[in-house]
Amino acid sequence: MLINMAYAADAAAAPDPIMQFLPLIVIFALFYFMMIRPQMKRAKEQKNMIESLQKGDEVVTAGGELGKVAKVGEAYIGLEIAPNVVIHVQKSAITTLLPKGTIKDI
């Protein structure tokens, strides 16, 4: 005969399920330690900074306004940006708490 007989190949060994998911587990661990955890730390520091705002603190807002805290409310603060000029901004708009005397140096 011209046609050879075809034989079935031996069954391949099933891969270990842990080894299949190991790359996904490693990628998740890297994302957690390099992205999620530092972001949670920064958010906690920002929340603590906003909660500790007091009258007289010098701050910078997200829009770039530099001023001195004149009044602290529940959700808003009064920000003195010039003598006798007070604007109201949300507390969440405060990005940076500056050292005392920074405004005089500018």
Q: Which residues pair with 94 in a beta bridge?
A: 61
pLDDT confidence of residue 19: 85
Domain ranges of the chain: 16-52, 54-106
Average pLDDT across each block of 10 residues of the chain; the chain has 106 residues. List them in order.
67 77 94 95 96 95 95 95 95 94 86
pTM summary value: 0.71
Rounded alpha-carbon distances, angstroms, from residue 56 to 37, 75, 89, 93, 94: 33, 17, 15, 17, 14
> Contact, 32 vs 73, CB < 8 A?
no
Burial classification of residue 15, based on how many CB atoms lie within 10 Å of its CB (0-12 exposed, 13-18 middle, 19 or more buried) = exposed
> Smallest Cα–Cα separation from 34: which of 26, 22, 23?
26
Give the fold, CATH level 3, of 54-106.
Answer: SH3 type barrels. (2.30.30)
